[in-house]
Amino acid sequence: MTDISRLSGLQALWSETLGSPEICVAILDGPVDRAHPCFTGARLDQLATSMQNELGDDLASPHGTHVASVIFGQHGSAVKGIAPGCRGLIVPIYFSRDGDRLHCSQLDLARAINQAIELGAHVINISGGELSASGVVDSILAKAIEQCAKSGILIVAAAGNDGCRCLHVPAAAPTVLAVGAMDIDGAPLTFSNWGGSYREQGVLALGADVLGAASGGKVIAKTGTSFAAPIVAGVAALLLSMQIKRGQRPDPQKVRAAILESADPCDPAVESDCRRSLAGRLNIASAHLKLREITGSGIAGQAPPDATSRFFPASAVLETGTGANRKMQSIDARSSMSRELDQPTYRRNNMTEPASLPQPEFAEVGSQSFQATEYAAAAEYIAAPSVANVRPSAVAASDCSCQKTAAAPAIAYVLGQIGYDFGTESRRDSFTQLAGMDVYDPIELLKYLRTDPASAANLIWTLSLDATVVYAIQPYGPFASYTYDRLKEFLNAHVTQEVERVSIPGVIHGSARLLNGQEVPLLFPDLRGMYSWSTSDLILTTVGATPADPAAAALYDKKIDGVRNFLERIYYEVRNLGTSPQERAINYAATNAFQVSEVYNRIIATEMKLDCIDVERSPICRPGSDCWDVKLTFFNPAKRIEQARHVYRFTVDVSEVIPVTVGKIRHWDIY
């Protein structure tokens, strides 16, 4: 059993800081037992999500509790965490099904990362992943990871426990810091993955018999890359805290560079296979010195800048303490995660009994499967008297959370396709018996709903992105019947291929379980912004009729091609969940095609093509609003070097459920 306080260089770093409360570390894992004595006094907030199982014997909460304690365990308790003075944001993403497997999906992970971004995380720890042959991530998850890089947020992820030259997602993503596992002497553990991108963006950290918190106020040792990752995340948090202490703005990406560049490299004369050592072994003291070299020493006595000033306003409600109002931000449970590998090194009465390591076990459901990267818990042991004498108690709500905890519910502006579900077999069968129809034929179902409109409320209406259900839609209020009528119209138009997309603005609250067991967020829609369209009809509406003049007709065709290219890139290249301010701004830009048409009116005569679509926070905004600039950059493919690029920008205010454009379209050249 290894006390992490033995890590070389850690005591010296602790002598300078135990972590700043201005630095926030998000733990994307199982729910955490915050009543454990090691968390007494810790600044921990926990998001209430549909993944939040009852704390107890399920697999998710012990995993999350142990991981969180490695970072936030308070000194003076039996578990000394790496950065106990930092703030923690717990975002439950795993849950156990049938008591023996952990479940998550790349879509779930993307939702959780977006939540952590909006709530002001500086570091995100992910002790899990999906085994991937290529290391390529789903486009929605890739965009969430990319947004972290743009926002300066560091993701630390476990490399995986398959013992092979193989990659895990998200650890393999280019901007993520991957973490493999080694023993206390620095030898790579046999099950720790290696190879591929890990050689450039991964480090080894202690992952053998790591001491952490267990249910019932106990402590336990666990082995795996799951427990190496929070060690690196905790060290990153301490280094960020040192930047604040030196009067510098915390820079997680520079911390990442310092950790990678200062890692102790493999010595080929000593080790037979340097691939297993990734980019090197974590060297805490060297990372500290390297960060000083990269960022400078700072100004003594200078007040640090606001560590959260660059982050977005919170749009989710945290579960702080016990008994607080819980806002259910539901998590999709489409894919399964393998069971944690139950092979520990047992420690009883100071005796160690090594055991052989089994092969990883996977259970695939659908197209994605996450593995909780842990070699499971060592046997519980009797805690030190200092812990035994502390009674478990609920952790009080912290004075400050990762970002201000807004009471306003999360809002979304989503593009997709309408469908329906029954939730349970009995509800499905009741439709069959009442109507005597094929309930999976939307034409027959819609015909029945015309005779019995009230039954529309007994369906679960869904919104999908390319056949993947991402939300359940729940009409509400005095105009709910009109909303149901609109949903039926959308479904009928989709079946008859009259429309391709719909826009649904609304408020996210709670979750709904589909017939296949998938749990999806519940979206309460705003009827005012519910639209449907086909791409062709939308283009014709915005550009008008074909001109009679041949020259004008040629330009007209180019304009149509340009608008179509823009819309299809929104639909497929930058498709998203519509929850972050950037996503809502760009989705609204797709529905407000008149502005895009105006851009193409100006650009088509220049022979320029759309290069990229960017979203940035607007430097100028109305008081109390949340404004974002959607920027379209064009270039001339025949004159890439000699002709300047041209940028068009329009501003979208996303502070309300239904976005609105602000001001005029602006444009300029980039030389």
Distances (CA, A) of 188 to 132, 161, 193, 285, 334: 21, 12, 9, 20, 34
**Catalytic pick from 63, 122, 288, 646?**
63
Q: Is 494 a catalytic residue?
A: no
Record the tokens describing residue 324, joined without a space: 């607080």
Q: Which residues pair with 27 in a beta bridge?
A: 90, 125
As a whole number of angstroms, the distance between CA 128 and CA 125 comes to: 9
Q: How far is CA 21 from the centre of its chain?
A: 22
As a whole number of angstroms, the distance between CA 1 and CA 5 comes to: 12
Burial bucket for residue 643 (CB in 10 Å: 0-12, 13-18, 19+): middle
Q: Give pLDDT tens digits for 259-280.
A: 999 999 988 877 878 888 999 9
Q: Is the pLDDT of residue 655 over 50?
A: yes
Beta strands 177-182 and 501-513, pairing class: unpaired
**Model pLDDT, residue 50:** 56
Record the tokens describing residue 66, joined without a space: 């142990």
Q: Which residue has the tokens 């970002």?
A: 403
Q: Is the pLDDT of residue 351 over 60?
A: no
As a whole number of angstroms, the distance between CA 213 and CA 55 comes to: 13
Q: Is 267 a catalytic residue?
A: no
Q: How far is CA 135 from the centre of its chain?
A: 17
As a whole number of angstroms, the distance between CA 239 and CA 242 comes to: 5
Q: Which residue has the tokens 């301490």?
A: 238
**Catalytic pick from 29, 626, 629, 653?**
29
Q: How far is CA 512 from the centre of its chain?
A: 20
As a whole number of angstroms, the distance between CA 111 and CA 95 comes to: 15
Distances (CA, A) of 650 to 139, 412, 620, 667: 25, 20, 12, 9
Q: Is 63 a catalytic residue?
A: yes
Q: Is the pLDDT of residue 382 over 50?
A: no
Q: How confident is the model at residue 97 (pLDDT cuts 50, 70, 90)?
A: low
Amino acid letter, residue 208: A
| 56 phi and psi angles, rounded to 5 deg | 160, -125
Q: Which helix (H) or strand (E) element contains residue 464?
A: strand 460-465
Helices marked H in 357-459: 385-388, 425-435, 442-451
Contact criterion met (CB below 8 Å) for 608 and 646: yes
Tell me the pLDDT of the chain averaged across its residues: 79
Q: Is the pLDDT of residue 67 over 50?
A: yes
Contact criterion met (CB below 8 Å) for 85 and 225: no
Q: Give pLDDT tens digits for 147-161.
A: 999 899 999 999 999
DSSP string, 565-612: HHHHIIIIIS---S-SHHHHHHHHHHH-HHHHHHHHHHHGGGT-EEEE
Between residues 175 and 333, the one the model is more confident about: 175
Assign residue 152 a region (left: φ > 0; alpha: ψ between -120 and 50; beta: otherwise): left
**Model pLDDT, residue 643:** 86
Query: How much is the pTM?
Result: 0.72
The string over 578-595, giving b where at least 16 C-beta atoms fall within 10 Å of a residue's C-beta and e elsewhere, is bbbbbbbbbbbbbbbbeb
SS3 510: strand
Q: Which helix (H) or strand (E) element contains residue 337?
A: strand 336-338
Q: Which helix (H) or strand (E) element contains residue 146?
A: helix 139-151
Contact criterion met (CB below 8 Å) for 258 and 294: yes
As a whole number of angstroms, the distance between CA 543 and CA 541 comes to: 6
Amino acid letter, residue 355: A
Beta strands 177-182 and 154-158, pairing class: parallel
Q: Give pLDDT tens digits for 199-222.
A: 999 999 999 999 999 988 999 999
Q: Is the pLDDT of residue 355 over 60?
A: no
As a whole number of angstroms, the distance between CA 224 and CA 421 comes to: 40
Highest average pLDDT, of 234-238, 468-472, 579-583, 587-591, comes from 234-238
Handedness of CA 154, 523, 584, 493 (dihedral sign): positive
**Catalytic pick from 50, 127, 215, 226?**
226
Of 500, 501, 494, 503, nearest to 526 (Cα)? 503
Amino acid letter, residue 97: R
As a whole number of angstroms, the distance between CA 69 and CA 21 comes to: 16
Taken in order of first residue, the domains within the chain and their CATH numbers are: 4-336+351-388 (3.40.50.200), 410-533 (no CATH), 558-670 (3.10.450)
Per DSSP, 185 falls in state T
Amino acid letter, residue 275: R
Between residues 644 and 307, the one the model is more confident about: 644
